[in-house]
Amino acid sequence: MSLRKVFEGHSGRYILKIDHFFDVYEKHFSRFRNTRMRILEIGINEGGSMLLWRNYFGADCEIHGLDINPNARNVVADDVFVHIGSQDDEEFLLSIVRQHGPFDIVIDDGSHFMDHQIRSFETLYPTMTERGVYVCEDAFTSYWREYSGKVGGANTFIEYAKGLVDELHAYWATDDNMEPTPFTNSTEGIYFYSGAVVFERAPVEPPKCVARHKDIVNVSRISELREKEVKRMERESRNDRTLMRRLRSRLRRLLKRSPG
Ligand SMILES: C[S@@+](CC[C@H](N)C(=O)[O-])C[C@H]1O[C@@H](n2cnc3c(N)ncnc32)[C@H](O)[C@@H]1O
């Protein structure tokens, strides 16, 4: 049953989600269903979404939620863990990881303040399992004036995530100040959806170039590919210069011959 269907069958505790996020979750979460895995949701309100995760992921999933509101402790079922504290408290987050981590999935559906989103991400992301998934929900606050958001605004989560897109490409960058980082080496992809950003973790090796022709398989490093490309460009520019010289001398000859 799809997550959307599980949601449609849900009754009881209040759940608040953006409708198209169900499709996003399905895409990134389905591989974890009915496996032994751990999920941490930041911001649980009445705990309705924790019940949704239980029904979707199955009995082997260990579900943790954290909320700044102490009432959250009272409102959830027995088979989930609730931690009370703020998502911008690094030590609080790390203590949860030390006791219960590492997590396979982290969903940030807490305050939606961008400095909180960034702090939670920077604290939790490096602690996750190798192939974990981190979701920053409601990243649209990066565009809301009420949250000091605006298009291209400094310190928004979206601008921060755009910076991580550069880090993701560090192996390709020829800029001297762009070296692969722990983020580069542990992130397979960043997915931008309308209002949410998803980070898929995986161990990353320096990229290779593979060519196949009949029985010949050729594997080369990207740096070799770049060298080849530079040489090709040099050759082409030499050819261009030769061509220009030829054209110029032909033009001169034509001008000499012309009666006027
Ligand atoms: C949108 S609700 C969560 C909804 C829930 N995830 C769901 O899907 O039904 C946001 C929750 O974040 C909590 N919250 C707000 N600021 C927080 C903070 N700094 N740290 C942790 N939780 C916070 C609120 O108390 C509230 O319960």
Atom nearest to 45 CA in ligand 1: 27
Cβ(95) – ligand 1 distance below 6 Å: no
Q: What is the pLDDT of residue 188?
A: 98
Closest residue CA from atom 25 of ligand 1: 69
We report the CATH number of the domain holding residue 20 as 3.40.50.150
pLDDT at 176: 83
User: Per-10-residue mean pLDDT for the chain, 260 residues long?
Assistant: 87 84 96 97 90 93 96 78 97 98 97 96 98 97 93 94 97 90 98 98 91 76 77 82 86 78
Residue nearest to atom 27 of ligand 1 (CA): 45
**Predicted local distance difference test score (pLDDT) of residue 111:** 96
**109 CB near ligand 1 (under 6 Å):** yes
Cα 8–Cα 22–Cα 167 angle in degrees, nearest 5: 165
The C-alpha atoms of residue 176 and residue 174 are separated, in whole angstroms, by 6
Same domain (yes/no): 95, 187: yes
- Phi/psi at 45 (nearest 5 deg)? 50, -115
Atom of ligand 1 nearest to the CA of 16: 9
Does residue 210 lie in a domain region? no
User: Does one domain contain both 146 and 37?
Assistant: yes
Q: Tell me: do 97 and 149 sit in the same domain.
A: yes
* pLDDT of res. 76: 62
Query: What pLDDT does residue 212 have?
Result: 79
User: Ligand 1: which of 45, 86, 123 to mutate, most ligand atoms within 8 Å of CB?
Assistant: 45
Residues 185 and 240 grouped into a single domain: no
**Do residues 137 and 245 both lie within one domain?**
no
Ligand 1 in contact with 89 (CB < 6 A)? no
Domain count for the chain: 2
Say yes or no: CB of residue 110 within 6 Å of ligand 1: yes
CB burial of residue 144 (10 Å; 0-12, 13-18, 19+): middle
Q: How far apart are CA 251 and CA 249, in angstroms?
A: 5
Domain that holds residue 252: 222-257
Q: Are residues 71 and 161 in the same domain?
A: yes
Chain centre distance of CA 249: 56
Is 120 near ligand 1, meaning CB less than 6 Å away?
A: no
In a domain, 215, yes or no: no
- Check residue 253 and give its pLDDT: 84
186 CB under 6 A from ligand 1?
no
If asked whether residues 239 and 163 sit together in one domain, one would say no
User: Which residue, by CA, sits nearest to atom 9 of ligand 1?
Assistant: 15
| 133 C-alpha to ligand 1 centroid (Å) | 19
Taking the CA atoms of residue 144, residue 150, residue 153 and residue 158 in that order, the dihedral angle to the nearest 10 degrees is: 60
Q: Are residues 246 and 155 in the same domain?
A: no
In a domain, 213, yes or no: no
Q: Which residues are catalytic?
A: 112
